[in-house]
C-alpha cells in the first residue's frame, strides 16, 4: 500500500512538472510574439513611410552583450526595432528557461545523470551565444 502511494505521488509531481513546462512554453511563445507584434506596429507607425533598401545588410554589432545593451537602451526610448528584438530574445529565452527549470527539478529529484546532461546542454548554449557573435 505504501509503495503505491509513493508511486502516485511521483506521478502527480511529474504531471505538475509537465503542466508547468507546457504552460511556460505556451505562454512564453504567445507573450514573445505579442511583444514582437507590438514592436512591429510601433515601428510601422514611426517609420512606415520610409523606403527600405533590402539589397544591403549592415551588421551593426557582433557582441551579444552590446546588442542586449542597445536593445535595453532602445526600449527606454520606445524604439520599434528594440521592441521587436526583445520579443525575439524572449522567444529564445523561453526554452532556455525550460532547460533551467528542468535542471532544478532534476536536482531536486536527485537524478544526477540528467543534472549533468542538462548542465552540459546549458553550458554549450551559453557558450555558443556568448562567443557565436564574434568573428
Domain total in the chain: 1
**Structural domain span for residue 123:** 2-48+61-131
Closest CA to 128 of 85, 87, 96: 96
Q: State the chain's mean pLDDT as an integer.
A: 85
Residue 30 in domain: yes
Residue 68's pLDDT band (cuts 50, 70, 90): confident
Cell numbers representing residue 101 in the block: 527549470
Q: 23-44, pLDDT tens digit by residue?
A: 989 999 999 999 999 999 999 9
Residue 55 in domain: no
Give Cα 109 to chain centroid, integer Å: 24
Amino acid at each position: 500500500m505504501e509503495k503505491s502511494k509513493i508511486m502516485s505521488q511521483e506521478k502527480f509531481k511529474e504531471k505538475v512538472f509537465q503542466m508547468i513546462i507546457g504552460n511556460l512554453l505556451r505562454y512564453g511563445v504567445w507573450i514573445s510574439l505579442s511583444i514582437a507584434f507590438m514592436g512591429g506596429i510601433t515601428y510601422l507607425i514611426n517609420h512606415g513611410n520610409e523606403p527600405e533598401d533590402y539589397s544591403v545588410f549592415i551588421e551593426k554589432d557582433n557582441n551579444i552583450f552590446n546588442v542586449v545593451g542597445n536593445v535595453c537602451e532602445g526600449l527606454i526610448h520606445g524604439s520599434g526595432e528594440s521592441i521587436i528584438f526583445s520579443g525575439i530574445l524572449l522567444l529564445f529565452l523561453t526554452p532556455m528557461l525550460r532547460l533551467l527549470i528542468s535542471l532544478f527539478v532534476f536536482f531536486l529529484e536527485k537524478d544526477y545523470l540528467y543534472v549533468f546532461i542538462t548542465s552540459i546542454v546549458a553550458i554549450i548554449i551559453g557558450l555558443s551565444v556568448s562567443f557565436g557573435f564574434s568573428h
